Amino acid sequence: MELKYLHKLWAQGVHFLGTQYAILCGAMTWVSEPHLVSAVSNHGCFGVLAGGNMPVETLDAQIDATRKLTSMPFGVNLITIAPNFEKHVDLVSQKKLSHVIFAGAIPQDKALSQVKESGARIICFASTLALAKKMIRAGADALILEGNEAGGHVGPVSTTVLTQEILLHVQNVPVFVAGGIGTGEMIAQYLLMGASGCQLGTRFAAAEESIAHSDFKKKLIHSSARDAQQTYQFDPFLPVVPVRAIVNSATKRFNQLQLNLLQELEENRIDRKSAQMKLEEFWIGALRSAVIDGDVENGSVMAGQSVAFVKKVQPVQEIIQELIEGAENKLASLYK
């Protein structure tokens, strides 16, 4: 398909990523591994490995495995609050990657400079305009604006508000929009607002090339947007980063765990940091149970509200083609 309109609108994003299309597959723990990442990159988009809480040796092996499966650009997503973060930074710097994405808290200047000196381009998440400007000053080469509609750990602001607050005021670096995006038509709208491209996750989680359990994919297919709900913080004394997932028994168990930990905190039987760690450990284990073992009732089926657009298991190439055609056709209809 000839891209008469997309070619112009996402030229900056395509150039920055080194891809055919300015579409990223967001990093999803247990899901974004070499098979899915390479498939996304091999079909013209930008795959991203999820570093997460992975042991350094495992991440090293996954980078090598991805390079064997694709010669196209891909990135590695590092979580700044992960226990192995500093070791991850050392590793990706040694691996001479083309792109590194920092997620979580604000990355330290040392980490940013170390990765930048390795030759990699740096992408950071920004949740406010002030933070976006700070990230750029610190050395970020591009930004991702991820709204509350996304799956997994989420912030408090919707994608549409973030784009108005930040995208309209940042023009000096590429900005990619994420959160609740499931169609090419929506991609077109954000490009018209000035985005350099978009990031999707949930639709790719259900791809044929995704190693996620078949029951996990079926759960996505049979879920609606309203089924993907976020958890809530019961008491600011125990700070909780909200997680968006399909509501099931795991959600109820998480809420009960939070109440139990608050009780332990009040009785001085646990400190705050340890309590927060227990909450994170819950999600790490529950996510693996759902993605790898297929326990979609007791495990965590993390998904964005764009789960509404997951209708069947499809090859990555087919998903990308649908997105491209939807975006190009939408733009063509607007320019008539």
Tell me the residue range of the domain where 269 lies. Answer: 224-291
Examine residue 95 and state whether it is found in any structural domain, yes or no.
yes
Read off the amino acid at residue 88: H
Q: What is the DSSP string of 187-221?
A: HHHHHHTT-SEEEE-HHHHTBTT--S-HHHHHHHH
Nearest CA-CA partner of 201 in 21, 79, 38, 23: 23
Residue 173's CATH number: 3.20.20.70
The pLDDT of residue 121: 98
Between strands 46-50 and 23-25, the pairing is parallel
The reported pLDDT for the residue numbered 26 is 97
> Does 301 fall in a domain?
no
Instruction: Identify whether 302 is part of a domain.
Output: no
Predicted confidence (pLDDT) at residue 1 exceeds the cutoff of 90: no
Average pLDDT, stretch 81-92?
94
Kindly state whether residues 97 and 198 are assigned to the same domain.
yes
**60 and 38 inside one domain:** yes
Q: Is residue 14 part of a domain?
A: yes
pLDDT band at 83 (very low <50, low <70, confident <90, very high): confident
Asked if residue 336 has pLDDT above 90, the reply is no
Long-range residue pairs from 256-263, CB within 8 A, at least 24 positions apart, any chain: 257/282, 258/233, 258/234, 259/234, 262/234, 262/235, 262/237, 262/238
What is the value of pTM for the model shown? 0.95
Q: How confident is the model at residue 129 (pLDDT cuts 50, 70, 90)?
A: very high
175 and 166 Cβ atoms separated by less than 8 Å = yes
How many domains are there within the chain?
A: 2
Give yes or no: residues 235 and 86 share one domain.
no
Question: How confident is residue 164, by pLDDT bands cut at 50, 70 and 90?
Answer: very high
**28 and 167, same structural domain?**
yes
Domain match, 40 and 160 both: yes
231 and 124 part of one domain: no
Structure confidence by residue, pLDDT tens digits, 89-100: 999 999 999 999
Are 124 and 268 in a shared domain?
A: no
Asked if 165 and 253 sit in the same domain, the reply is: no
Give yes or no: residues 234 and 125 share one domain: no
pLDDT tens digit sequence for 170-192: 989 999 999 999 999 999 999 99
The Cα 40–Cα 221 span in angstroms is 20
pLDDT of residue 55 exceeding 90, the answer is yes
| pLDDT tens, residue by residue, 251-306 | 989 999 999 999 999 999 999 989 988 998 898 889 999 999 999 999 999 999 99
228 and 323 inside one domain: no
Laid out side by side, the sheet with 152-153 consists of 152-153, 243-246, 228-230
Same domain, 13 and 106: yes
